[in-house]
Amino acid sequence: MATAAKVQWLWDIRYIDAPVLRWRDADSNSENGLEETLYYCNDANMNVTALVNTSGAVMERVVYDPYGKPRFYDGSWANPSDTSVYANEILYCGYRLDPETGMYQVRHRESDSRLRYSLLLLGMWRSASISRMRRGR
Ligand SMILES: [Ca+2]
């Protein structure tokens, strides 16, 4: 049974999906705890745009296609990749991108950024909304 946390987030009180920082056990050594601290930068839509270390250096940058699919770069806008070097899962609009399913978890619902159309923009979700469940649909 696991007893040590692998990752913890601190969230901002100004908005529900605004992360401040993440502590992570990046070296898989529980003896030194969550030794990695990265701060989140975001744009006006709460999209995470960069991860900054405790010295103020940009470690990773993120851009998105119109449907929320992320593209990662290092701090110098080099080495583009489809995956985060820092295993960052908080991305588009401050939502969590599940690395196993490729779906954004938006509180109690999910959206698929891999589709050519946006479930989010069309108001369609992979799971029923709470209001629909309450109405029995
Ligand atoms: Ca550690």
Residue spans of the domains in the chain: they are 7-134
Q: What is the pLDDT, as a whole number, of residue 115?
A: 54
Give the confidence band of 94 by pLDDT, cuts at 50, 70, 90: very high
Residue 7 has pLDDT above 70, yes or no: yes
Q: What is the mean pLDDT of residues 40-50?
A: 96
Instruction: Give φ, ψ of 14 to 5 degrees.
Output: -75, -20
Contact 52, 39 (CB under 8 A): yes
- Helices of type H across the chain: 130-134
Q: What is the pLDDT, as a whole number, of residue 118?
A: 45
Give the confidence band of 117 by pLDDT, cuts at 50, 70, 90: very low
Residue of higher predicted confidence among 97 and 125: 97
If 0-12 CB within 10 Å is exposed, 13-18 middle and 19+ buried, where does residue 62 land? buried
Q: Which protein residues have a CB closer than 5 Å to ligand 1 (ion)?
A: 25, 27, 29, 32, 35
Measure 6 CA to ligand 1 centroid, in angstroms.
8
